[in-house]
Amino acid sequence: MPVIDIHSHFFPRAWPDLAARYGTPNWPGIKHTEPGEADIMIGDRLFRHIYSACWDPQKRLEEMDRDGIEMQVLSATPVLFAYDRPAEHALDCAQLFNDAALELYAQGKGRLKSLCQVPLQDVDAACKELSRCMRAGHLGVQIGNHVGEKNLDDPGIVTFLHHCAAEGAAVLVHPWDMFGQSRMPKYMMPWTVGMPAETQLGIVAMILGGAFDKLPRSLRICFAHGGGSFAFLLGRLQNAWQHHPVAHGVCELAPKDYLNRFYVDSAVFDTRALNYLVETMGTERVMLGSDYPFPLGEHRVGELIRSSDLSQRTKSRLLGENAEEFLNLPRNAAIGSALTGEPSQPAPREGHQLTYSSYLRVPELLQLQHPQSRPQHHDELLFIIVHQTYELWFKELLHDLDAVVANLQDAGKNPESRDEVYEAARLLRRCTEITRVLVEQFTILETMLPTHFLAFRGKLEPASGFQSEQFRELEFLCGLKDEKMLRYHRPTPEAHAQLERRLKEPSLHDAFFEALRAMGKLRVDKNAGERERFDARARAVLSLYRDEHSNRDWIDVCERLTEFDELVVGWRLRHIQLVERVIGTRMGTGGSAGSSYLKLTLDKKFFPELWEARTLLTE
């Protein structure tokens, strides 16, 4: 079970003097007081004492290990929002933080992720910065619950939230700049009283102001600190809505009917409060959020959920599964699986009967298409869906070909058995039919005019099909291994590690010829050169065909491998034809040489010995 903390904070170790940078006073800064200790300062005033977990990834990872946390999502200290400053200064401040967060993320061994911040007082600049950050690797954005006098139902903020939905960005709403501070100067009351009220105000403004009615259901938005006082005062809000027309606002539904439109975190610090929060919001809408590493955060992250009397199924949802959905993390790539080596399988949701839609996760599937063109070009959705379908079929091919390798390895260990050979041929037949579908999918793309593709092509930079990790993995798995290709996947550490593993593992090519060697068909001197080894492998295949009666099952494997090889070459050819049909001889979006590069790949065969054996048959 993955354990993911979606609400933690970070302050960069090195932070510029913003007052000097912008020529205005009272900007947040950091003053290191002694090793591992520092103060956040607002001008000359102490704002908060912090320690090294705020900036040191190693310290943070150590404490995550202590608490059993596999992933933590970093966001800014809200004093950095700067919504009350000139927009150009707030943008620069946001960019400084966002780039620093990515530096920490890069040192987090895959366990630290980040939410960016944006200058929300300037919607256009905020949208542009969000897009930049999503391309750079942030999972979403943290925003404050208001911008001056503007609440979250403000048209400009709603426009920004529309953009978040279009970008697939998770949104964490954090209270800041609390009201009534002149009446709450002592005892940390702005944090203990003001913050919960501010968060409730943000939620209520979105409900009664009609923001949720205007926004797509694909928007994933979470309110910090358990949603403040909202859940605990929902009855009062509902009562007012039912009995006082002025309390209706402009929303289409009753307040309680919007609970499925947002998430809240678990930072309520009391098991009874947590139980009530889960009862009110539902088990699918509460996520682990700690407010780590600040003094008012959870001092042992996750302890509140773990020590509660909630069911184990509910705890699993709160500790990680809901966060995977909120952050749009693939279940089969969950951190828990990576660390334990055990697959993470979603169990049926508590109180829900399995349906076609829930089994196939149709709602999530239909939210995974995020066109980049503005205004959206009609054909970009087709382009995305076709390529996502390619990746799904690549996943199935990897699944089946791994099984083929295992069957051939077993056949090599027991040459007299025919069951494994039959199963290998059966799965290879499936792989050829899948690849035939992949070739035919180009016909769908060919319905798109060149002008239609060029209308959104510029938005794809620097993405390219050349970067498909799964296709590269297929090449490595089949035996077409080229270590130099790894450099193109360094920006994605998980994919790079997987491809490195594939490089070291026996390939389908290796497994096939090792099985022939075990059968006594392949004999080659250990000191032979590569050409001699190639010829020996081709002769081993030839020997199968020359004794068809005894080797029908192995010949079936050879035919399926040859057909698969032929179809992959056909896929490469159709790819070239499509590229030339749409962009001619221009450079590819990822910096490749376009069709001229693709033509070089036509000579690449996974099993050249199978083709050479056909030449030998005619001699």
236-268 pLDDT per residue, tens: 999 999 888 888 889 989 999 999 999 999 999
Pull the structure tokens for residue 421: 């050979």
Query: Is 370 within a domain?
Result: no
pLDDT at 398 over 50: yes
pLDDT category at 507 given cuts 50, 70, 90 is very high
Contacts of 319 (CB under 8 A, 6+ apart): 1, 2, 3, 4, 288, 302, 305, 306
Mean pLDDT of the chain: 88
Angstrom distance (rounded) from CA 453 to CA 467: 19
Give the three-class secondary structure for 68. coil
Neighbouring residues of 559: CB distance < 8 A, sequence distance ≥ 6? none
Q: Which of 336, 365, 394 is the last residue of a domain?
A: 365
Are both 67 and 114 inside the same structural domain?
A: yes
- Residue of 441, 374, 444, 436 lying closest to 564 (CA atoms): 436
Question: Which residues does residue 30 pair with via DSSP β-bridges, in sequence order?
Answer: 40
CATH number at residue 132: 3.20.20.140
- Report whether pLDDT(456) > 90: no
| Peptide bond before residue 462 is cis, with ω within 30 degrees of 0 | yes
Please indicate, yes or no, whether residues 267 and 118 belong to a single structural domain of this protein: yes
Q: 476 and 332 share a domain?
A: no
pTM over 0.75: no
- Identify the residue with better confidence: 357 or 52: 52
**Residue 291's CB: how many other CB atoms inside 10 A?**
20
Kindly tell me if the per-residue pLDDT of 289 is higher than 60.
yes
In this prediction, residue 350 carries a pLDDT of 43
Asked whether residue 423 falls in the same domain as residue 513, the answer is yes
H helical segments located in 24-86 = 57-67
Confidence (pLDDT) at 586: 54
Neighbours of 490 (CB within 10 A): 9
Residue 474 pLDDT > 70: yes
CA 96 to chain centroid, in Å, comes to 23
Q: What is the mean pLDDT of residues 537-558?
A: 93
| pLDDT for residue 351 is more than 50 | no
Mean pLDDT throughout 517-530? 87
Burial group, residue 486, by CB count within 10 angstroms (0-12, 13-18, 19+): middle
Question: Tell me, what's the pLDDT at 337?
Answer: 36
Is-contact 7 327, C-beta < 8 A? no
Q: Give me the pLDDT at residue 75, please.
A: 95
pLDDT of residue 333 exceeding 50 = no
Residue 123: pLDDT over 60: yes
Same domain, 130 and 222: yes
Burial 218-255 (b: 16+ CB within 10 A, else e): bbbbbbbbbbbbbbbebeebeeebeeeeeeeeebeeeb
pLDDT of residue 601: 54
Measure the CA–CA gap between 42 and 20, rounded to whole angstroms.
13
The C-alpha atoms of residue 514 and residue 135 are separated, in whole angstroms, by 44
Q: Report pLDDT digits (tens) over 62-89.
A: 999 999 999 999 999 999 999 999 999 9
State what percent of residues in the chain have pLDDT above 90. 64
- 509 has a pLDDT exceeding 90: yes
**Under a CB-based contact definition with an 8 Å cutoff, are residues 13 and 55 in contact?**
yes
- Give CA 218 to chain center in angstroms: 15
Distance CA 14, CA 141 (A): 22
For residues 171 and 33, membership in a common domain is answered with yes
Q: Say if residue 80 is in the same domain as residue 151.
A: yes
Per-residue CA distances from 290 to 74, 75, 76, 265 (Å): 11, 12, 14, 8
> Poorest-confidence range of 40-49, 434-443, 594-603?
594-603
Q: What is the pLDDT of residues 163-215, one digit of tens each?
A: 999 999 999 999 988 878 888 888 888 878 988 999 999 999 999 999 999 99
Q: Is residue 426 part of a domain?
A: yes
Both 167 and 278 in a single domain? Answer: yes
Q: How many domains does one find in the chain?
A: 2
| Residue 41, beta-bridge partner list | 29, 46
Return the biggest CA–CA distance within the chain: 98
What separation in angstroms does the CA of 534 have from each of 158, 254, 430?
A: 64, 73, 28
CATH code where residue 383 lies: 1.20.58.480
Provide the pLDDT for residue 534.
94
Q: Which residue range is the domain that position 199 belongs to? A: 4-365
Q: Indicate if the pLDDT at residue 438 is higher than 90.
A: yes
